[in-house]
Chains A and B, each alone.
Chain A
Amino acid sequence: MSPALDLPTVWAFIIAFAVFAYVVMDGFDLGIGILFPTFKPGRERDSAMNSVAPVWDGNETWLVLGGGGLMAAFPLAYAIILPALYAPIIVMLLALIFRGVAFEFRWRDPAHRAFWDVAFTGGSIIGTLAQGVTLGALLQGITVEGRQYAGGWWDWLTPFSLLTGVSLVVGYAFLGATWLVMKTEGDVQAHVRRMAGWLGAGTIGLIGVVSAVTPFLKGAYYENWFAWPNVLLTAQVPLLVLVGTVLFFRSLMRGHEYWPFLLALGLFGLSFVGLGISMFPYVVPGAVTIWQAAAPDSSLIFMLVGAVVLVPIILTYTGYAYWVFRGKVGHEGYH
């Protein structure tokens, strides 16, 4: 196998890209759901929801690509990870049902709008918490025997997985707040700008805590981060986080509208790179590498042809959809 085109590595990057696209795009949708109760019922809530109503469905599709792609490219990993994380994944799916239908239902049923608002927020918070728990449970390691999960049904629940769960809730709320800084005006914008400051501080603090704990979990994390001379490279990640933090607070103070969101994306991107450094080349940390889990080459090549052609097209028309609905969100009509 030539190192120039190692198919499992290529697919690991594609799936990582899909998961990252999901995390940032549905991240701000879910963040708006988490922040929803802090807006006044009526026009504030309406415009917050309006800002993502045309795009949330496309954003959530990256989750299907992440899950479906994992099954297709790394079926063994899919078959081990999903049973291991049974409870948080089922909870996430159920929570996302409430969150998703709330977009339509709250407009159809003014009499029960309060109920669907609670469903929107509850679905967003619980769904995010479950995603964060899933991540933490994966990082802390999964018991594998042969080709199957061999642990218990509550292995996923640990202080570390709860920490990553809460961190993701704060992080998505941070993304949602900076998104709304970009999409709203007036009182709402002033409110989300304040929130963005607090949530930014919280997110960065929690990134620090999770990063500090992760190398001491079992697995090769410590080695991946601190082995000489790799550390010269890996040390750039926390340094860049510091730079990003400074730039973020500066742009927020100066009243910039787009930069806080873009810098928040940058901080998420750096966290994601950090995650990649921790995990690579394992897909089930400490147990299964991407090469062990990979589907046969005939599967990977067949999909790669499609992905190379289709993903750029998808990104193009997704960009078009965002372009159509660009600018500040309205809470009332312009017809």
Chain B
Amino acid sequence: MSKFGKKQNEASPQINTSSLPDIIFILLFFFMMVVVMRTEEIQLEIKVPQATELQKLKKKHLVSYVYIGVPKAKLRAKWGNAPRIQLNDVFKSFTEIGPWVENERKKLPEKLRPYMTVSLRVDRDIKMGIVTDVKLELRKANALKINYSATKRSKFGE
């Protein structure tokens, strides 16, 4: 290595930029690790509520997401204005929640199955009726650890 280094110094008296790609690559890998690749496209308008007593969802692989909201503007012609449930990539009905939970649970190793969490990402303007129905389905499927997804808020009226 040192041999090559010497050679380079002789070749150019300027600042050595040969390690720049490495640095950028390290940055790149860092981002690739940190960032969550969300493969599913959310087809609903979801603005989660704000709250103060938040807990982080640490183990991402244990979390499954249920989205509830009104379809996005461009999809309304097809799907209408009523709130819908999205699991993974497609709109689903209540009855499909149970099998979906089973399926998600099967993806996890046996040991970790009791720790499975279902994160409810629900739009803030949705009425509780549909949320209650989803909660009932989750209880039927014995997925009891849930999380109401929210963003940070510091005080009232913000």
Chains A and B are bound partners: no
Give the interface of A toward B (CB within 8 A).
none
Give the interface of B toward A (CB within 8 A).
none
